[in-house]
Amino acid sequence: MTATETIARADDPLDLTLSAEELDAHREHITDFIASQYEAAGADQAILGLSGGIDSTLTGYLLVEALGAENVHALVQPSEVNREENMSDAERVASELLDVEFDVVEINPLVDAFLDAYPDAAEDTTATGNLRARVRAVLNYLVANHEDGLVVGTGNRSEALVGYFTKYGDGAVDCHPIANLYKQQVRQLARHVGVPDDLAGKESSAELWEGQTDEGELGMGYDTLDSILALHVDGPLSTAATAKEIGVETETIETVRELYEASEHKRRAPPGPDRLH
């Protein structure tokens, strides 16, 4: 984001705070879900990509609670655009906070091999960013196939509804344990289960290219996005009513609606024609 760009923020964002009882209920619901998915798959390991961000950190905590540290294998997959502190956080989460087996796999050589094969895309920031996400997915499944593992995703509800993930990249997983939580609630549950505040409150970034941040790319703060999703996309309020309720321009509401509608294909299996009778 440049100095001239601004991020839309609601004057009065919707309070999505969960009570302690609700957080306990979500915790139990998610860990039960993880255990049932693991058992149904007949898996020997849960494979988790750790980025150092709050989504993968919370997912890691819940995986260990549900399955035990001995049944979780984390992959830390840095590239040249990753901030060193995020990769350090990922290794800290794996080794100090979760005490799980983990491997560090540098993906630059693999990304470079693809770009050498098709150099026309080398200067395309979006294409190369998505390539990094897809390379990580391939590695996750390589390890999962070798270890009879279940690839566990880290996507939350806010990002899923606006398509803020890479199709067949970070969206290519066997299950998404925190899929029902808005981003605000991810941070709440993280603190509730004991994630240190420096991790629970850190700025979110998919780090698909240098300097990228989630809020900068989305053009709005997560509190604003969550409010629009809860009131307008998931909820009953019109564009005008939502804008008035939280104090943002109607254009911001329309942007979120457009993202939701344009990303529908990401939330569904690839289509095919109807069967002939």
Residue 64 has pLDDT above 80, yes or no: yes
Distances (CA, A) of 11 to 68, 235, 244: 43, 19, 10
> Domain residues of the chain, as ranges?
20-214
Mean pLDDT value across residues 255-274: 93
Separation between Cα atoms, residue 88 and residue 150, nearest integer Å: 25
Q: What's the confidence (pLDDT) of residue 8?
A: 87
Separation between Cα atoms, residue 1 and residue 211, nearest integer Å: 8
Please calculate the CA angle 13-186-148 and round it to the nearest 5 degrees: 150
pLDDT tens digit sequence for 197-216:
999 988 776 666 666 677 88
Q: Using 50, 70 and 90 to split pLDDT, how confident is the model at 195?
A: very high
- pTM of the predicted structure, to 2 decimals: 0.92
Higher pLDDT, 202 or 97: 97
Give the single-character DSSP code of 220: B
Phi and psi at 276, nearest 5°, equal: -80, 140
Q: Using 50, 70 and 90 to split pLDDT, how confident is the model at 79?
A: confident
Distances (CA, A) of 153 to 34, 45, 114, 125, 166: 11, 14, 24, 24, 12
Residue 5 has pLDDT above 60, yes or no: no
Residue 84 has pLDDT above 80, yes or no: no
- Cross-sheet strand order for the sheet of 149-152: 101-104, 72-76, 45-49, 149-152
pLDDT tens digit sequence for 9-44:
998 999 999 999 999 999 999 999 999 999 999 999
Q: What percent of the chain shows pLDDT beyond 90?
A: 81
Q: What's the confidence (pLDDT) of residue 201?
A: 86
Q: What's the confidence (pLDDT) of residue 86?
A: 65
Question: How many CA atoms does the CB half-sphere of 268 hold within 13 Å?
Answer: 9
Mean pLDDT value across residues 119-124: 96
Residue 76 has pLDDT above 90, yes or no: yes
Separation between Cα atoms, residue 216 and residue 65, nearest integer Å: 33
Mean pLDDT value across residues 225-244: 97
Biggest CA pair distance of the chain: 59
Mean pLDDT value across residues 181-187: 96
Q: What angle separates helix 20-41 from helix 54-67, to the nearest 10 degrees?
A: 70
Q: Which of 167, 140, 168 is nearest to 46 (CA)?
A: 140
Residue 257 has pLDDT above 60, yes or no: yes
Overall residue count recorded for the chain in this entry = 277
Mean pLDDT value across residues 174-180: 97
CATH topology of domain 20-214: Rossmann fold (3.40.50)
Give the single-character DSSP code of 118: S
